[in-house]
Amino acid sequence: QIVAKQMKTQCRCHGVSGSCAVKTCWRSLPTFHEIGSHLKKLYEHAVAVKCRSHKKLRHREKMKRHIPISHDVLVYMHRSQNYCRSDPSRGVMGTRGRLCNKTVEGPGSCNLLCCGRGYNTQVLRYVNRCHCKFHWCCYVTCESCETMRDIHTCK
């Protein structure tokens, strides 16, 4: 339904010197980004429901009275599990020990991934070949360069 609602009509004119003697139109699919953004908005405003007798869905908060739910709303019956904590029986590993980025906000950030538990910082030393030179004929010499990098993992 979401894809069908977001289909766009595109047209192209055909003719001599840019005239529109013949116009061809077609329907095109939205991009995955557009579909994903729309689904995310629906997810963020999803409504909790409970199934009552006769298979009618009702708002969970207002069980005493029936409030109709429109067809363009995303609904759920059970809350999502907490992905912050490990639950091996469900295949959820949690976020403890996950690498995170403390310098960004949003996906991948320590604030989001570590679920308020904070993070550990470890300084890692990397040794790489650098300043390599080719010598005639047939060998290369390089220096060793050392870099230090902070790695952050969720507590």
Q: Which CATH superfamily is domain 98-155 in?
A: Wnt (Wingless and Int-1), C-terminal domain (3.30.2460.20)
**Res 141 pLDDT > 90:** yes
Q: What is the structure's pLDDT at 65?
A: 57
Question: What are 70-93's pLDDT values in tens digits?
Answer: 788 888 888 887 888 888 888 888
**Res 40 pLDDT > 70:** yes
**Res 14 pLDDT > 70:** yes
Cα separation of 55 and 146, whole Å?
66
Q: What is the structure's pLDDT at 9?
A: 95
Average pLDDT of the residues of the chain? 87
Q: Cα-Cα-Cα-Cα dihedral of 121, 125, 131, 136, to 10°?
A: -140
SS3 label, residue 129: strand
Q: Is the pTM of this model over 0.75?
A: no
* Residue spans per domain, the chain: 1-44, 98-155
